[in-house]
Amino acid sequence: MKVFGAVLLAFLVAIAASAHSVSAFTPQKGDRFGYSETITVNNGQGSYTGYTDQTRITGMEQMNAVSGSDVSASYSYSAQFSNNQGSSTSSSSSGDYMWSSSTFTYLNGTDNQVGYSKPTYVWFFMNSSLPVGGTFYALNTQFAVLSKDYSLQLPTEGNRSVQTIQARGTGQYQRNDAYGVFTASYTWYEYFDPSTGYIVGYSYVEQDNGQYQGRAGSFTYTDTLYVTSTSYNLAQAGASSVSITSTTIMESALDLGYLAPLAIMLVVVVVVAYAAIRRRKSSLPKHPYTPQTPTPAPPPTPWESKVDLGSKPPEEVVIRDVAKVNCKFCGTLIPTTVDRCPYCGGPRQ
């Protein structure tokens, strides 16, 4: 019966692997999440010595229709900006867009993501079946899964700890906007719901070094986001994981419509095992199970024109007493003292 046991075990492992390969969540109409986001600029040196600003954002993303892998969605948010020089503005934005749950990229429009090389990957959804070490993209940044069971505290829910998938991405880009011309290096942690792959929160920290109006300077740019409401249930951290047993394997087989093939395969296994025993052949050699490594997505263009994690530049920002206005062509804040936008080249007037 050693032959029967070995073959049966290999068969059950194959069934479990098949169940895992299709475990990624499919977005549904009505999926949504609300979020609270805070962007802070501080730790200024040189031309940015003493300067600070903060933007508080409240937003919502909702999936309105699903056709195959194409998801029609909408977004909305409001933002309040202020700095230590007494300037403050408010803004809002909303709109519709389409994205793919198979390629994880924006298909038609975005939730106000601008300045990225294509394909541009959504920032709020991932394949939750990826293993630790697996890679994926958000916007133009490559992430690696660090943990499938990370306990994340949600300050938006009284610091309740929830179970998440933790992933980390790093990168560098050239900032050329209202803040000046800077080389920006960043580390970005994202946290996703293990059952669906939707966002739970993120922490983004960027260090900028360069020049503002010809003067050397540096500053830190941080962006944190946490969900405030979700259509998907967030699991309490520390909940017991479901182990793969013969019962759960059978349940998975039934759910996947494998009942008939399972019955046929079991009959074949029993017949083969019985024949092998009758012939007194030696047992089959043991082979380790090696899971397939997912093929990473093609790397994006290394240059990123700017990092805009779902926020819109304020309509007016004053940095060292220089007024800024939105460029009417690309929306980037530019000084009123320049004739052309340094980002898109369009005339200011």
Number of domains in the chain: 1
What length is written for the chain?
349
What tokens does 25 get? 């969540």
Contact 334/327 with Cβ under 8 angstroms? yes
The Cα–Cα gap between 156 and 35 comes to: 9
Of 329, 324, 328, the C-alpha closest to 53 is 324
Q: Give residues with Cβ within 8 angstroms of 214, minimum separation 6.
A: none
Q: Give residues with Cβ within 8 angstroms of 141, minimum separation 6.
A: 169, 170, 171, 188
Residue 156, pLDDT score: 81
Residue 322, pLDDT score: 52
Q: Give residues with Cβ within 8 angstroms of 231, minimum separation 6.
A: 30, 31, 32, 33
> What residue type is assigned to position 173 of the chain?
Y
Residue 1 domain-assigned (yes or no): no
3-state secondary structure of 265: helix
Tell me how crowded residue 108 is: count the other CB atoms within 10 A of its CB: 10
pLDDT in tens, the chain (349 residues): 444 454 444 444 444 444 333 347 999 999 999 999 999 999 999 999 999 999 999 999 999 999 999 999 999 999 999 999 999 999 999 999 999 999 999 999 999 998 888 899 999 999 999 999 999 999 999 999 999 999 999 998 888 999 999 999 999 999 999 899 999 999 999 999 999 999 999 999 999 999 999 999 999 999 999 999 999 999 998 754 333 333 333 343 344 444 445 555 655 544 444 454 444 333 323 223 223 333 333 333 332 333 444 333 334 444 444 566 777 777 777 777 777 777 677 776 6
The Cα–Cα gap between 163 and 222 comes to: 24
Residue 147 domain-assigned (yes or no): yes
Residue 244, pLDDT score: 31
Contact 13/290 with Cβ under 8 angstroms? no
Report how far Cα 205 is from the mean position of its chain's Cα atoms: 15
What tokens does 115 get? 């300045």
Which structural domain, as residue segments, surrounds residue 80? 29-238+294-335
The Cα–Cα gap between 212 and 214 comes to: 5
The Cα–Cα gap between 348 and 339 comes to: 5
Residue 85, pLDDT score: 92
- DSSP string for 191-219: EE-TTT-BEEEEEEEEEEEEEETTEEEEE
Residue 317 domain-assigned (yes or no): yes
Residue 82 domain-assigned (yes or no): yes
Residue 254 domain-assigned (yes or no): no
pTM score, whole prediction: 0.65
Residue 260 domain-assigned (yes or no): no
Residue 334, pLDDT score: 72
Residue 171, pLDDT score: 95
Between vectors from CA 315 to CA 310 and to CA 320, what angle results, nearest 5°?
110
Residue 148 domain-assigned (yes or no): yes
Residue 263 domain-assigned (yes or no): no
155: which DSSP letter?
G
Residue 349, pLDDT score: 67
